[in-house]
Amino acid sequence: MALDPQCVELMAAINDIGSPFDTDDPVEARRRVQESVNRAKPYGGRFKAVENGSLPGPAGGIAYRLYRPEDAVESPGPVLVYYHGGGMVFGSLDSHDPICRAIAEAVPCTVISVDYRLAPETPFPGAAEDAIAAFRWVVANAESLGVDPARVAVGGDSAGGNLAAVVSNETRGDPIPPCFQWLIYPNVDMAAEGGSIDAFAEGYFLTKSAMDWYKNFYAPDRASRLNPLCSPLRAESLVGVAPALVTTAGFDPLKDEGRAYVEKLKSDGVPVEYIDYPGMIHGYLRAFAIVDVARQTITDSARSIRAAFGMPAA
22 as an active site residue: the answer is no
Strand partners, 273: 245
Kindly tell me the burial class for residue 28, based on how many C-beta atoms sit within 10 Å of its own C-beta (0-12, 13-18, 19 or more): middle
Catalytic residue among 252, 256, 301, 304, which?
A: 252
Q: How far apart are CA 128 and CA 170, in angstroms?
A: 10
252 as an active site residue: the answer is yes
Catalytic residue among 19, 36, 113, 158, which?
A: 158
Catalytic residue among 96, 97, 168, 282, which?
A: 282
For residue 200, give every residue at least 6 positions away whose Cβ sits within 8 Å of its Cβ, in sequence order, or none. 206, 251, 252, 253, 255
256 as an active site residue: the answer is no
Residues noted as catalytic: 158, 252, 282
